[in-house]
């Protein structure tokens, strides 16, 4: 009889627990026998079903519960700069007015939805806007934030680059999507990502006076599907040991499109890089990987590598798939790097320079350990030097005939040139040096993200750009410069000077132009960064200094 009862309930044992099955049995007709027989049958069924369950399920410790993973539902907060109020509750009917207030109220897994409009200090925003981990700010990804603009900036004390003026500060696990970001302030950065890994998608970075996005420290963000245009120095800078994924973005008319420095190793894939001053610039120990990018129609070079940089443009086991062509000077210029550049599997023109491996045999070496240089002592005048005969290739003309993009634009001036930006002294607590040497700083290099010099060698064994100074051009601090006639007699007709404020800015200038020295011109203390016989050489140094946020100018001597 016991085996028959067990078979009777064989079907129900897989769907019911032992307790619920026993309850079912006791309510059924077969247990209405009463007395000892009913109890005996109940016990028998318990044992049968218990053993059957044990045969098919793993044994669980008594008293433990099984945790069930459930996705936390996201909470929504609404922001409207026109009709909202920061005294509201952030609901759709009572939206906040500012992103700042929404972030203050946001918890993990919150999505902040932005209504069309301009979010600025005039509407109550406090800059910089600081993203929060696990919080998404979403505008209109379908238009890349065309009608949702975040405009403004505020000071942020960077652990690695001192004080910066930024619009938005990234955060680990944060998401920014479907907005337009502009920082019109002096030396303004749109988005600053410092040793964090947010996700930035389907947005527009336009009209910032320095960079659209700056990635520093040890960051690994995802930058996907964004549009960069008309930023003063760079579309994007990538520094430190950062390894961002930069995918399917468009860079056009934005100074240097992507500037990679120090030991950064980003992956650049599927990007369109057109009509910029230059495309991808890699310096120091940079090790970027470039795959399936379109780099064409840039005024100078498509890809430039200097110092110990070694971009990976394609290997035998992983062809590059890049299209690099129709750039003003060279499509790939690797003359000034010590490395062999792998360029297997790309569509290239014949306008390349340097040691390039088209066979796919060269592997990319890991970046060497970075050693900071010891600061040079400040001297009243430069040591005597014989000017070097430097003849760089002429700067390319902006003769691109590519039509303008159909992407919707903001009403921002279309001047493509880098904007000369005066830089205030950094707000740090570092004591000023009291001796004639510059104290070493907390971070590499000073308080601005430098871009590579436009000094791109075109001849054999050409050294990096120097400031040729004859031995008789060495005025002490406070003395006027020597009469221009002597310089002109030596063929030096172009002088680059920099307005500086204090020792720290002087040290920054010397990092970029080692022979620079302090002098006085028209009663103003400045630094003479170099004198040149060729205007193109002077313009290269001028552009490099301006792109590094220094107030440099060019004087032509008659």
pLDDT tens across 43-61, in order?
A: 555 555 444 444 444 443 4
Contact 496, 554 (CB under 8 A): yes
pLDDT for 368: 56
CATH pick for 75-357 out of 2.160.20.10, 3.40.220.10, 3.40.50.300, 3.10.150.10: 2.160.20.10
Domain layout of the chain by residue ranges: 2-56, 75-357, 484-556
Q: In the prediction, which pLDDT does 517 show?
A: 86
Q: What is the mean pLDDT of residues 291-308?
A: 96
Q: Are strands 494-499 and 524-532 parallel, antiparallel or unpaired?
A: antiparallel
Give dist(CA 338, CA 21) in Å, integer: 77
Q: How far apart are CA 182 and CA 201, in angstroms?
A: 16
Q: What are phi and psi of 177, to 5 degrees?
A: -150, 140
Q: What is the pLDDT of residue 13?
A: 44
Q: Is the pLDDT higher at 530 or at 247?
A: 247
Percent of the chain with pLDDT over 70: 64
Q: In this structure, what DSSP letter does residue 143 have?
A: G
CATH of segment(s) 484-556 = 3.30.70
pLDDT tier, 448 (very low <50, low <70, confident <90, very high otherwise): low
Secondary structure letter of residue 404 according to DSSP: P
What does the alpha-carbon distance between residue 495 and residue 517 come to, in Å, rounded to a whole number? 12
Task: Give yes or no for residue 417 having a pLDDT over 50.
Answer: no
Quote the pLDDT of residue 421: 36
Distance, in Å, from the CA atom of 521 to the CA atom of 479, rounded to the nearest integer, reads: 9
Domains 75-357 and 484-556 fall in the same CATH topology: no
The tens digit of pLDDT for each residue in 338-379 reads 999 999 999 998 899 999 999 988 887 676 544 333 333 333
Q: For tokens 């369109």, what's the residue?
A: 272
The model's pLDDT over 81-100, given as tens digits with 9 standing for 90+, comes to: 999 999 999 999 999 999 99
Residue 363 confidence (pLDDT): 80
Sign of CA dihedral 545, 546, 550, 552: positive
> Is the pLDDT confidence value at 411 over 50?
no
Find the distance separating the first CA and the last CA of the chain, reported in whole Å.
119
Helices 18-27 and 35-56, axial angle in degrees (round to 10)? 150
Q: Is 83 exposed, middle or buried (0-12, 13-18, 19+ CB in 10 A)?
A: exposed
Say whether pLDDT at 314 is over 70: yes
Mean pLDDT of all residues in 406-420 = 37
pLDDT of 14 above 70: no
pLDDT at 116 over 90: yes
pTM for the whole thing? 0.60
298, pLDDT greater than 60 = yes
Q: What is the average pLDDT score of the chain? A: 75
Q: Which of 104-108, 246-250, 502-506 has the lowest mean pLDDT?
A: 502-506
Would the CA dihedral through 442, 170, 280, 449 be positive or negative? negative
Taking residues 93-118, what's their average pLDDT? 98
Look at residue 490 in the predicted model and tell me its pLDDT. 56
């Amino acid at each position: 009889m016991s085996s028959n009862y067990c078979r009777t309930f064989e079907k129900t044992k897989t769907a019911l627990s032992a307790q619920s099955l026993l309850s079912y049995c006791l309510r059924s007709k077969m247990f209405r026998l009463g007395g000892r027989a009913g109890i005996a049958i109940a016990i028998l069924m318990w044992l049968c079903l218990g053993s059957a369950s044990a045969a098919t399920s793993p044994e669980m410790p008594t008293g433990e519960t099984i945790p069930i993973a459930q996705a936390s539902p996201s909470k929504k907060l609404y922001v409207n700069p026109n009709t909202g109020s920061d005294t509201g509750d952030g609901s759709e009917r009572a939206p906040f007015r500012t992103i700042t207030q929404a972030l203050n109220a946001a918890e993990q897994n919150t999505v902040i939805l932005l209504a069309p409009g301009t979010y600025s200090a005039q509407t109550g925003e406090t800059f910089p806007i600081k993203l929060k981990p696990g919080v998404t700010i979403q505008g209109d990804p379908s238009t890349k934030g065309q009608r949702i603009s975040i405009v403004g900036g505020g000071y942020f004390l960077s652990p690695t680059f001192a004080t910066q003026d930024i619009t938005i500060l990234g955060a680990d696990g944060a998401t920014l999507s479907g907005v337009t970001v502009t920082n019109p302030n002096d030396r303004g950065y749109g988005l600053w990502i410092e040793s964090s890994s947010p996700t930035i998608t389907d947005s527009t970075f336009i009209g910032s006076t320095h960079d659209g996005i700056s990635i520093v420290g040890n960051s690994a963000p995802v930058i996907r599907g964004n549009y960069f245009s008309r930023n003063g120095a760079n579309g994007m800078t990538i520094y430190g040991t950062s390894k961002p994924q930069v995918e399917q973005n468009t860079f056009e008319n934005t100074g240097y499109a992507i500037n990679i420095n120090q030991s950064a190793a980003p992956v650049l894939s599927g990007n369109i890089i057109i009509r910029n001053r230059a495309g991808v610039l890699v310096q120091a120990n940079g090790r970027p990987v470039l795959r399936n990018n379109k780099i064409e129609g840039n005024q100078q070079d498509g890809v430039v590598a200097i110092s110990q940089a070694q971009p990976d443009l394609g290997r035998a086991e992983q062809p590059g798939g890049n299209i690099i062509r129709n750039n003003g000077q060279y499509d790939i210029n690797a003359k000034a790097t010590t490395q062999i550049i792998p360029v297997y599997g790309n569509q290239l023109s014949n306008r390349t320079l340097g040691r390039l491996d088209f066979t796919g045999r060269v592997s990319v070496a890991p970046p060497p350990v970075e050693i900071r240089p010891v600061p040079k002592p400040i001297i009243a005048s430069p040591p005597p030097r014989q000017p070097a005969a430097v003849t760089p290739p002429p700067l390319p003309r902006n003769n691109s005939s590519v039509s303008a993009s159909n992407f919707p634009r903001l009403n921002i001036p279309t001047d493509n040139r880098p904007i000369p930006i005066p830089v205030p002294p950094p707000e740090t607590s570092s004591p000023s040096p009291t001796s004639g040497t510059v104290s070493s700083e907390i971070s590499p290099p000073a308080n601005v993200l430098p871009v590579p010099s436009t000094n791109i060698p075109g001849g054999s064994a050409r050294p990096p750009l120097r400031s040729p100074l004859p031995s008789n051009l060495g005025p002490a601090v406070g003395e006027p410069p020597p009469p221009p006639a002597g310089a002109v007699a030596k063929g030096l007709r172009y002088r680059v000077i920099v307005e500086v404020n204090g020792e720290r800015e002087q040290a920054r200038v010397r990092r970029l132009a080692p022979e620079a020295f302090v002098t006085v011109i028209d009663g103003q203390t400045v630094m003479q960064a170099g004198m040149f016989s060729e205007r193109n050489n002077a313009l290269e140094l001028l552009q490099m200094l301006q792109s590094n946020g220094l107030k440099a100018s060019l004087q032509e001597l008659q």
